[in-house]
Amino acid sequence: MNKISSKHFILFIIGVVIISLKTYPSIFIDIGGRDTWLASLIASIIFVIFLMYIVNICNVTKTFDINYIFAHSMPKALSFILMLIFIITLFINAIEAGALEANILHSTLFLETPVWYALAFFLLPSLFIFNKRLRTILIFVLVSVFIIIINGIIFFALSQSYKDINNLLPVLGSNISYGFVISTLLILGGFSSFMIAIPFLKFIDKVEHIRIHTLYAGIISAAFIIISFVGVITAFGPLRAANIFYPEFILGQRIEFGGFIEFGELFFLIQTVIGFFVKYVLSTYSILLICEKYIKNKRIFIGIYTFLIFVFSNFLGMNNYLLYDALKYLQILNLFSFVLLPIIVFSLYYLRHSPKKSLMKKSK
């Protein structure tokens, strides 16, 4: 049965939102400094409002198919171009997931393992999932995101003793700077990856509670990210945190339990390996859902697609500095494709197809 519930959709949103921002917070701390946690709070509020705005339009217009919304919001040629931009952004987010997964494995524990080798173990299992029905995706997401949530809670509890709240002070000591504003926008770009999950909206069987469940998803995701930024800054201070590629990995190395057990890195690896695999699978499956009418041979398409992901991810994953520079531009791209474009498209669709508009046409 190709249906999901609005409760399941909570995990779809969490699965694509939290992993990137939790993995490379140093990019944003480098720009926003000590107050980046406050920037994440502001970005979280905007994110939840934006998330509710998009879902509310779908709910009010009774339209949950993103293809239909793009196609009927503006002229055909323009809607095609905008949808193509949206698909390209999904593809680039899939590249991000592959590149980071391989780079993390290569630059943390498995230094001698080539990036391409790590990528092979990342991409090959995905080929099995893409040929399955939505029910397989649903089970995979439910299990994976549940593990990520439990893993994150345990990691938070075990790492508390290694943090100093004084590293957050003084709050807004430099007032609201240009870097603070840019950091807020870039974090919002990371949050906007929830649009990866929007193509799955059309599979929700009962939408009565979609708004409240979406609100839960937004609040949970925001809480994870804010706590992560606070944790990294309080653990290392803003200067040190801004100069570590994967701060939570280093924080995990500090964890000691019972005086003899040291296993903190395991939490980071579980989070990143499972989290980026979820993001990659959902990004790719969203492309398949959007383009299903145009894909003549699914196996050939997936084969070419996977090869392109392998090439680009391997290129980016081999150089940490190149990868981190690219990640900054990814947040800007997300702001355009996953924030600005949806606001324009969904707003125009609402103006054209709102219930009041429909009633006026019928009365005439």
* Beta bridge partner(s), residue 257: 261
What's the rounded mean pLDDT across residues 64-87?
94
Q: Phi then psi for 204, rounded to 5 degrees?
A: -75, 125
The answer on pLDDT for 357 being more than 60 is no
The answer, yes or no, to whether residue 333 has pLDDT greater than 70, is yes
d(CA 120, CA 314): 10
The Cα-based distances of 1 to 7, 9, 137, 149 in angstroms read: 16, 16, 12, 26
- Domains of the chain in sequence order: 6-363 (1.20.1740.10)
Nearby residues of 135 by Cβ (< 8 Å), 6 or more positions away: 1, 2
Q: Which residues of 157-179 are buried (b: 16+ CB within 10 A; e: fewer)?
A: ebbeebbeeebbeeeeeeeeeeb
Instruction: Pick the closest to residue 233 from 9, 2, 7, 41 (CA basis).
Output: 41
Residue 171 has pLDDT above 90, yes or no: no
**The predicted structure's pLDDT at residue 355:** 67
Give helix then strand counts, H and E, for the chain.
16, 0
Per-residue pLDDT at 261: 63
Reported as type and span, the H/E element at residue 83 is helix 76-107
Q: pLDDT at residue 363 above 50?
A: no
Give the list of residues 6+ apart from residue 252 with CB closer than 8 angstroms, or none: 155, 159, 264, 265, 266, 267, 268
pLDDT at 169: 87
> Could you tell me if 339 and 68 are in contact, meaning their C-beta atoms sit under 8 angstroms apart?
no
Read off the pLDDT band of 174 (50, 70, 90): confident
pLDDT tens digits along 80-116: 999 999 999 999 999 999 999 999 999 888 888 899 9
pLDDT at 364 over 50: no
Signed CA dihedral, 17, 18, 24, 25: sign only: positive
Q: Evaluate whether 179 touches 33 at the Cβ level (below 8 Å).
A: yes
How many angstroms separate the CA atoms of 221 and 79, rounded? 30
Condensed to tens digits (0 to 9), the pLDDT of residues 178-212 reads 999 999 999 999 999 999 999 999 999 888 899 99
Q: Which amino acid is at 231?
A: G
Instruction: Output the six-digit token pair for 265.
Output: 């890195």
According to DSSP, the residues that pair with 204 across neighbouring strands are 4
Task: Report yes or no: 57 and 349 within 8 Å, Cβ to Cβ.
Answer: yes
> Can you give the pLDDT at residue 259?
66
Q: Provide mean pLDDT across the span 284-297.
A: 92
Number of Cβ atoms within 10 Å of the Cβ of 31: 22
Separation between Cα atoms, residue 16 and residue 191, nearest integer Å = 9
pLDDT (tens digit, 9 = 90+) per residue, 8-45?
Answer: 999 999 999 999 999 999 999 999 999 999 999 999 99
Secondary structure of residue 2 in the 3-state scheme: coil
Angstrom distance (rounded) from CA 94 to CA 65 = 21
